[in-house]
Amino acid sequence: SNRNKSRLRVANIHEKVANQRQDYQHKISLKLTSENQKISAESLNIKGMVKNRKLAKQISDVSWGNFLTMLEYKGDIYGCEMHYVDRFFPSSKRCSNCGYIKEDLTFATREWECPECQHLWDRDINAALNLMLFCESKIPLEEGKSTPDQLVVRLGMNRNTGSGQEATSEASAELVVLH
C-alpha cells in the first residue's frame, strides 16, 4: 500500500514537471512567433542525437521536436515564416563577420577567434548570426558557390577598414538565441 502511494506521488511530480515544461514551450513559441516575421532553425537529426547516451536525457527533456512543431503551427497562425537550414550547414564554424570557415572546431570549443578577421566569437551567438544571415538570404544555399569576399560585400562591410562592425552588433541585438 505504501509503495503504491509513493508510486502515485512520483507520477504526480513527473506530470507536474512535464506540464510546466510544455507550458513554458507554449509561452516561448507564442512570444517568438508573434514578435518576429522570420525564424530560422537548423533541421537537426534529433532521433540520431538521442542515441548518444551522454546527451539523450537532456535532449529528450528539452523536447526540441515538440518545440519546433509549436513554432511551425503558431507561425502559420501569426504570419511568421519558418526557415530550416540543412543540418550540415556550418553555422557554428563559419565566421559571420568575414565568412571564414574553421574546419577544426570541436563541440567542446565554446569560443574561438577567427584567424582572418581576429574577431572573438561565442559559438552560439555566431551560429545564431549565421542562421539570421541565411534566413535573410545573405548566405546562399549552395555553400561552395559563395566566397567570404562576396559575403562581406553583400553585408556592406569593408574588410580593409573594418567598417560594418556596427551592423553586426546591431544584428546581434535583434537575435534570439535558443538553447
Q: Are residues 178 and 97 in the same domain?
A: yes
Contacts of 18 (CB under 8 A, 6+ apart): none
Looking at the fold, whether 101 and 153 belong to one and the same domain comes out as yes
Q: What is the pLDDT of residues 4-45, one digit of tens each?
A: 999 999 999 999 999 999 999 999 999 999 998 888 888 888
Which of 9-13, 92-96, 137-141 is the most confident on average? 9-13
Distance CA 31, CA 97 (A): 28
Residue with cell 567570404: 148
Instruction: State mean pLDDT over 86-104.
Output: 81
Last residue of a domain, one of 53, 68, 87: 87
Domain boundary among 51, 69, 87: 87
Cβ atoms 84, 46 nearer than 8 A: no
Domain boundary among 66, 87, 108: 87
Q: Which long-range contacts (CB under 8 A, 24 or more apart) does 166-170 make?
A: 168/96, 168/97, 168/129
Both 83 and 106 in a single domain? no
pTM of the predicted model as reported, rounded to 2 decimal places: 0.65
Which residue range forms the structural domain that includes residue 77? 1-87
The grid coordinates of residue 121 equal 566569437
Name the DSSP class of 105: -
Judgement on whether residues 79 and 138 belong to the same structural domain of the protein: no
Average pLDDT, the chain: 76
- Report how far residue 84's alpha carbon sits from residue 39's, in angstroms, rounded to the nearest whole number: 9
What is the pLDDT at residue 2? 95
What confidence score (pLDDT) does residue 122 get?
Answer: 86
- Residue 104 CB contacts under 8 Å (≥ 6 apart), including other chains: none
pLDDT score of 62 = 82
pLDDT of residue 138: 61
**Of 160, 150, 40, 21, residue with least CA distance to 89:** 40
29, 106: one domain = no
In this structure, are 1 and 75 located in the same domain? yes
Can you give the pLDDT at residue 84?
A: 84
151 pLDDT tier (thresholds 50, 70, 90): very low
